[in-house]
């Protein structure tokens, strides 16, 4: 019975007109299909190509053009028995010449303005093809507005225009861990050079990254017509904040530590923005200069994104003993590492490093408030941290800055000796002192009850060994300070 059906289907297919149309398809024919009589087997060595306009036409009998006005896309729906790996194939090609292989697994192609191609090409005579088209208006899509400096999940809603706008610059957009994403994920994201999907089509995200890097005006629009998931995050930046860099990357951190390598030419800078969606804290675990004998190498770590134009809070030089300065806590989900003529490997993770609170002799570190790392974040009512050592150590403190706004709680560090005696260094809104101090002990407590983004602290500490030490008995030192 199956053989009879196949024979009948082949016979029926032979009667269907498979001649590749010779005139352009325009919005004047807003819907249609090919072949006109429905799905059919195609003969071996067949080619029908709906050619991109303005290319040289080599065979007029095999060419058809989709001409698509601004503000429109053409939805192509395919019926075929071919799979992605089949020798016989049907494909869509957009105006940037990007190729979309269509199959029974991937049967839909959205053709953006202003022109597009659909190509059917066979080697054997065993494949069936049929596709329909429909012009669709995209000028009234639902919109989501974001400013530069924003980080956003790339699981965009279907048929929604995500518009990224700068108040002072062109717009650049990057997707985190782009080179690690599965093939095809980002090819479904369409990028437009302007404030809506009627703007000039720049290509899918892959082509946009390859050719453009940024908008020509102050807005960039991205649309996911397919509704496919992209398991990553994206960042919009002012192009003016990135244009001086030799390279820029956006990195999504996980709780599993990973290495990140970046290189910079002599006299140039590159930057990486790190982000985590699982914690309000990150850690730099290791940092290594690959060519430590070269002079002038340095790494600066800045809050938030390049668009925020914030001063660096941490600096590492090729002359530093960096191993003694790490791990380093960063009380933010976002920070930017700037490399100055350096080839550097960075080992980082989201969350807290296991050994962040270890007071090992020789250790250096910086206690930097969340309000300095991320002034836009909501601060906890009480922030505490406890550091400890298995032996008595000398703790030296350099209070670079402590600011407590009027009525905004206090900040303090308490050092506990082995016999439970302690040294307490407390700051409130009546204090006006910055300077240095030291104490001996086996534990250090940090406590802040300031919740205003105008209150902050920046304290460097050094852990020294102690063979003989002095115990401070119930001593409370209250310092005054001046602000930044």
Q: Provide the CATH number for the domain around residue 40.
A: 2.60.120.290
Please tell me whether residues 409 and 370 are part of one structural domain: yes
Share the mean pLDDT of the chain: 87
Please tell me whether residues 329 and 375 are part of one structural domain: no
pLDDT at 265: 79
**Helix intervals (H) in 219-308:** 239-242
- Would 253 be classed as within a structural domain? yes
Q: What band does 178 get if pLDDT is binned at 50, 70 and 90?
A: confident
Q: What band does 181 get if pLDDT is binned at 50, 70 and 90?
A: confident
- Degrees (nearest 5) of the Cα angle 355, 357, 362? 80
- Would 56 be classed as within a structural domain? yes
Please tell me whether residues 344 and 372 are part of one structural domain: no
Domain finish residue from 198, 214, 242: 242
Please tell me whether residues 333 and 378 are part of one structural domain: no
pLDDT at 453: 85
Q: How far is CA 160 from CA 75, 126, 138, 142, 190, in A?
A: 16, 39, 9, 5, 11
For residue 244, what are its two tokens?
């001086």
- Would 355 be classed as within a structural domain? no
Under DSSP, the state recorded for 214 is: B
Rg for the chain, CA atoms, rounded: 31
Please tell me whether residues 252 and 238 are part of one structural domain: no
Please tell me whether residues 430 and 332 are part of one structural domain: no
pLDDT tens digits for 199-238?
Answer: 999 999 999 998 878 999 999 999 999 998 899 999 999 9
- Our count of domains for the chain comes to 4
Sign of the torsion angle spanned by Cα atoms 339, 340, 341, 344: negative
Whether 8 has a pLDDT exceeding 70, the answer reads: no
Please tell me whether residues 327 and 396 are part of one structural domain: no
51-55, 395-399, 430-434: least confident range: 51-55
Domain finish residue from 242, 268, 294: 242
Under DSSP, the state recorded for 312 is: P
d(CA 10, CA 14): 6
Q: Give the three-class secondary structure for 469.
A: coil
- Degrees (nearest 5) of the Cα angle 476, 480, 484? 135
Under DSSP, the state recorded for 454 is: T
Which has the closest alpha carbon to 272: 335, 340, 182, 199?
Answer: 335
For residue 348, what are its two tokens?
């980082």
Cβ proximity of 442 and 392 under 8 Å: yes
pLDDT at 107: 96
Q: What band does 177 get if pLDDT is binned at 50, 70 and 90?
A: confident
pLDDT tens digits for 251-267?
Answer: 999 998 888 888 887 77
Q: Give the three-class secondary structure for 28.
A: coil
- Would 157 be classed as within a structural domain? yes
d(CA 436, CA 9): 89
Under DSSP, the state recorded for 311 is: P
pLDDT at 393: 96
Query: Region 22-36: what's the mean pLDDT?
Result: 90
Domain finish residue from 136, 151, 180: 136
Q: What band does 50 get if pLDDT is binned at 50, 70 and 90?
A: low
Whether 411 has a pLDDT exceeding 80, the answer reads: yes
Query: Region 91-97: what's the mean pLDDT?
Result: 90
- Would 111 be classed as within a structural domain? yes
pLDDT at 9: 43
pLDDT at 14: 55
- Would 16 be classed as within a structural domain? yes
d(CA 248, CA 172): 10
Task: Give the CATH number for residue 378.
Answer: 2.60.120
Which has the closest alpha carbon to 193: 185, 204, 181, 202?
Answer: 202
* Residue 28 belongs to domain spanning: 2-136
Phi-psi region of 285 (alpha: psi -120 to 50; beta: other; left: phi over 0): alpha
pLDDT tens digits for 105-146?
Answer: 999 999 999 989 899 999 999 999 999 999 999 999 999 999
d(CA 386, CA 379): 19
Tell me the backbone φ, ψ of residue 222, rounded to 5 degrees.
-125, 135
More confident residue, 94 or 23: 94
DSSP 338-386: EEES--EEEEEEES--TTTTB--TT-EEEEE-HHHH-TTSPPPS-EEEE
Please tell me whether residues 332 and 368 are part of one structural domain: no
Query: Region 407-415: what's the mean pLDDT?
Result: 91
Which has the closest alpha carbon to 263: 305, 313, 228, 299?
Answer: 299
Please tell me whether residues 340 and 301 are part of one structural domain: yes
pLDDT at 433: 64
Please tell me whether residues 105 and 22 are part of one structural domain: yes
Identify the top-confidence range among 259-263, 351-355, 377-381. 351-355
Query: Region 73-80: what's the mean pLDDT?
Result: 97
Query: Region 5-18: what's the mean pLDDT?
Result: 56
Query: Region 420-443: what's the mean pLDDT?
Result: 86
Please tell me whether residues 262 and 379 are part of one structural domain: no
Long-range CB contacts (within 8 A, 24+) of 102-108? 102/76, 102/78, 102/131, 103/78, 104/80, 107/77, 107/78, 107/79, 107/80, 108/75, 108/76, 108/77, 108/78, 108/226
281-285, 329-333, 407-411, 446-450: least confident range: 407-411
Query: Region 351-366: what's the mean pLDDT?
Result: 95
Whether 165 has a pLDDT exceeding 50, the answer reads: yes
pLDDT at 481: 34
Query: Region 432-457: what's the mean pLDDT?
Result: 89
Please tell me whether residues 128 and 10 are part of one structural domain: yes
Which has the closest alpha carbon to 446: 458, 454, 436?
Answer: 458
């Amino acid at each position: 019975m199956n053989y009879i059906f196949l024979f009948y289907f082949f016979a029926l297919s032979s009667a269907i007109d498979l001649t590749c149309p010779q005139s352009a398809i325009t919005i004047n024919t807003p819907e249609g299909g090919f072949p006109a009589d429905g799905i059919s087997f195609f003969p071996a060595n067949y080619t029908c190509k709906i050619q991109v306009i303005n290319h040289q036409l080599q065979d007029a009998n095999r060419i058809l053009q989709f001409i698509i006005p601004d503000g429109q896309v053409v939805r192509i729906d395919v019926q075929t028995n071919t799979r992605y790996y089949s020798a016989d194939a049907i494909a869509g090609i957009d105006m940037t010449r990007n190729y979309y292989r269509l199959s029974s697994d991937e049967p839909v192609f959205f053709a953006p303005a202003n022109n597009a191609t659909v190509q059917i090409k066979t080697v054997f005579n065993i494949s069936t093809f049929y596709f329909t088209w429909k012009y669709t208006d995209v000028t009234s899509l639902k919109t989501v507005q974001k400013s530069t400096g924003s980080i956003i999940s790339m699981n965009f809603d279907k048929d929604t225009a995500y518009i990224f706008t700068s108040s002072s610059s062109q717009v650049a957009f990057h997707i985190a861990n782009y080179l690690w994403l599965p093939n095809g994920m980002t090819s479904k994201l369409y990028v437009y050079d302007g404030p809506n999907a009627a703007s000039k089509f720049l290509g899918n995200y892959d082509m946009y990254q390859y050719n453009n890097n940024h908008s020509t005006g102050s807005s960039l629009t991205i649309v996911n017509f397919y509704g496919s998931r992209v398991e990553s995050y994206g960042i919009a930046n002012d192009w003016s904040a990135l244009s001086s860099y030799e390279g820029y990357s956006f990195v999504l951190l996980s709780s599993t530590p990973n290495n990140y390598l970046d290189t910079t030419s002599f006299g140039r800078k590159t930057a990486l923005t790190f982000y985590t969606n699982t914690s309000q804290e990150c850690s730099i675990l290791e940092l290594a200069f690959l060519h430590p004998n070269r002079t002038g190498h340095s790494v600066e770590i800045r809050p938030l994104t390049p668009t925020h134009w914030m001063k660096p809070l941490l600096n590492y030089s090729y002359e530093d003993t960096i191993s003694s300065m790490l791990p380093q806590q960063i009380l933010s989900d976002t920070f930017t590492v700037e490399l100055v003529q350096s080839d550097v490997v960075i080992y980082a993770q989201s969350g807290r490093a296991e050994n962040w609170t270890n007071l090992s002799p020789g250790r250096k570190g910086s206690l930097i408030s969340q309000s300095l790392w991320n002034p836009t974040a909501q601060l906890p009512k009480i922030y505490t941290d406890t550091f400890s050592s298995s032996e008595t150590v000398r703790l030296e403190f350099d209070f670079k800055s402590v600011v407590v706004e009027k009525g905004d709680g206090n900040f303090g560090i308490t050092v506990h000796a082995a016999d439970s005696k302690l040294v307490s260094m407390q700051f409130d809104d009546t204090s006006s002192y910055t300077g240095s101090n030291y104490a001996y002990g086996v534990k250090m407590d940090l406590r802040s009850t300031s919740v205003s983004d105008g209150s902050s602290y920046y304290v460097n500490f050094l852990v020294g060994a102690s063979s003989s030490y002095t115990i401070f008995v119930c001593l409370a030192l209250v310092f005054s300070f001046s602000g930044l």
